[in-house]
Structure 1
Amino acid sequence: MIKVIIIDDEQLARDLIKKFLSEASSVEVVAECANGFDGAKAIAEHKPDLIFLDVQMPKLTGFEMLEIIDERPVIIFSTAFDQYALKAFEQSAADYLLKPYSKARFHEALAKAIGQIESKQPVAATIEKVLESKQSLEQLDRIVIKNGSKILILSVDDISHFEAQDDYVAIYSDGKKYLKQLTMKHLENSLPEDLFVRVHRSFIAAISQIDKLEPYSKDAFIAILKSGDKISVSRSGYNLLREKLNF
């Protein structure tokens, strides 16, 4: 049996998916959830083969949930969005269902997902493509972090700076440090330009948190943040800061 979890904040949407799935003998619904927090927990507990996932949900969106789960099931998105999201889905998800959808369209998507499961296609890379496509098309206003068993949501307004650390980025907020698998390039492209600036290949700083700049060498500087942290500033980063701060 193929294990399925339904994650959608609308009860009617979940009921419709369960009704259509009842016509398929090879699948079993092991859980249904109304938000991304519960969805992440259910995925960790049940390790499903397939999830039906809504995008816009309270507490944690579908995309944010994908960023923090360790298990990588096949995904069928069930969404009312037909703009930025679908461009990602068409390339990367098993399929998407644009609400409202017909029973025939549902079973078409289900057959495609079952085929992906049975052929054992790599799912982790597929999810990464979904996230990359989504991330490149919208501005970040918050970042979701899995910190042990806890899930934290950091507003970008509360972040002082970012630091590249191998395959991860260190995020500094309120005197604490968190690690998340991101790229500096993605952050540079997605953070609000009026709030953050990439001052060095290894650092992105919140402009409001820069207290002062001190020369370090002929072509480099040190930025001292209001927190007392010191970060490197390259010549190009210094020039960017001059433009932003008009000095």
Structure 2
Amino acid sequence: MKIKCIIIDDEPLAIALIEAHVSKIPNLEIIATCNNALEGFEVLKSKSVDLIFLDIQMPLLTGIDFLKSLSHPPKVIFVTAYREYAIESYELDVVDYLLKPISFERFFKAINKYFKSLESHTKLETVVSENNQKSEFIYVNVNKKNHKVLFSEIVYAESLKDYIQIHTKEKTIVTKDKISDFEQKLPKNFLRIHRSYIVNIDKVTAYTAHDVEVGALELPIGVSYKKDVHKTLRNP
């Protein structure tokens, strides 16, 4: 699975260096580069992003203020020439804090931190049944207990600020997670249709220009997601 990344930095040389580092790691893919936070905000409205390489000192809006403005931000690695923001940045739960100029060795260490953060958050396993058919599931933490949920049983997931409601046919499970992080843990038959909703394509019974139907339930399609949602549902 490719990790979709964007770079937000007002220094062209810094962008070029990060692009060069990313090109050496097969799992990473740069889908956009932005010269300021406002450009980055536009990208986040229209595309699914897993990881942001974010400068701090930029015109119009600092990287820290930009990150604070996002209700459900992707994972962030700060890239900056200034040491003094390190403590504040970690209060924002960023993956890492890289000082320019960034060596590939230090960059690679930050990427390892990113992957470890995914592994520690939710354990994803694949089991093989007796008939050799793969059955995939995820463990989600509820009240300090890890519960197994089969992907095939999930109808849709709904974001409630820092929590996710996982709706199955039989029950609803609430776990602490951000929808952008939860989205990364799901297989390809799950589709983000809105800032607050992810749906299992296999459970979709109908759709219109504005919503997706799962049985009698109607889930809205976000404006910025319409193009990708309709394309995916037409060609599942």
TM-score of the superposed pair, with normalisation by structure 1:
0.46
Larger radius of gyration: 1
